Amino acid sequence: MRKWYIIILELKVTTTGLYIPVAHTAAGAANLTLGVIQLALPMHQHLFPKVKKIVREHNMLRTGDKVAVGVSGGKDSLTTLYALATLRGILPLRFSVMAIVVDMGWPGSDWTAVGDFCKSLDVCLKVVNTRIGPLLFEKRRETNPCALCSRMRHGALNKAAAEAGCNVVALGHHREDAIETLFMNLIYNGRIDCFKPVVDLDRSSLRLIRPMLYVAEKTCTRAAKKFSFPVQFNPCPADGNTRRQHVKELLLAESKQAPAIPRRLLTAIKSLWEEDVK
């Protein structure tokens, strides 16, 4: 015989439209369960359980961790920040979260809305000012800048995280990012490879984690729309005109014919991670 329970949870509606458990925003966050949050917000069944699962399977987070979430202003990184900030009061671990923005140096950049978003989550924001954008496109005039840009941004992010006393850096790569990376390596590099859920960066003593790899991109899109995340315009001249975008469109076309393709490809990628462990 099934037993049904009714759980009443007081929620706080923030200025950004987010529903945050009051117990989490108060001092000494209560031990809320993931089930409570799911009952309060049904959409979260596609987000929190998947993040919780990969965190558990790959031992991503540990008690005492100080996590720096790399925030670009896009829907994926903002959803990552939202997920980890909320899970602080849910997981049986005690860890802290902060946000770090690497400003690319484009004219007119304004992170005020992202700062307000971070305040609503009780998260500290640090903005690192760089000239990476103008350097790549105006001075070096790179025709295929994505790889170099990524290395420079991650370098700035890791340095800022270490200076802030963080020992963990969280990136917002989701399921489709992993699949696209696998196919880019196959097509353009001739090798079967994909980035890993957890990487220990020996030079900086940082642990790099990707807690969104089980989460579908459409979940990030829905979360950003539902909760009015302050998604920022991407002024990069290469946006939408890259090899990754081409691969994304190819996979999207195939997935329309067979919706199970992303799930099956993620299973294949998991086997690569398992081989690395061995």
The predicted model gives 95-114 an average pLDDT of 95
| H or E segment and range at residue 249 | helix 243-257
Question: Are 179 and 173 contacting, i.e. CB atoms less than 8 angstroms apart?
Answer: no
Whole-angstrom distance, CA of residue 8 vs CA of residue 4: 13
Whether 1 shows a pLDDT value over 70: the answer reads no
- Residue with the bigger pLDDT between 235 and 54: it is 54
Whole-angstrom distance, CA of residue 171 vs CA of residue 198: 10
Phi, psi of 90 (to 5 degrees): -115, -45
56-97: per-residue pLDDT in tens?
A: 999 999 999 999 999 999 999 999 999 999 999 889 999 999
pLDDT for the residue 140: 74
pLDDT for the residue 278: 57
- Residue whose pair of structure tokens reads 């202003």 in the numeric block: 73
Question: Are 56 and 208 contacting, i.e. CB atoms less than 8 angstroms apart?
Answer: no
The domain locations on the chain are 11-172+214-237
Residues 6+ apart with CB under 8 A from 271: none
Whether 3 shows a pLDDT value over 50: the answer reads no
The CATH number corresponding to 11-172+214-237 among 3.80.10.10, 3.40.50.620, 3.30.2010.10, 3.30.360.10 equals: 3.40.50.620
pLDDT for the residue 14: 45
109-126: per-residue pLDDT in tens?
A: 999 999 999 999 999 999
Number of Cβ atoms within 10 Å of the Cβ of 14: 17
pLDDT for the residue 237: 79
Q: How large is the angle between the packed helices 175-184 and 217-226, nearest 10 degrees?
A: 140
12: left (phi over 0), alpha (psi -120 to 50) or beta: beta
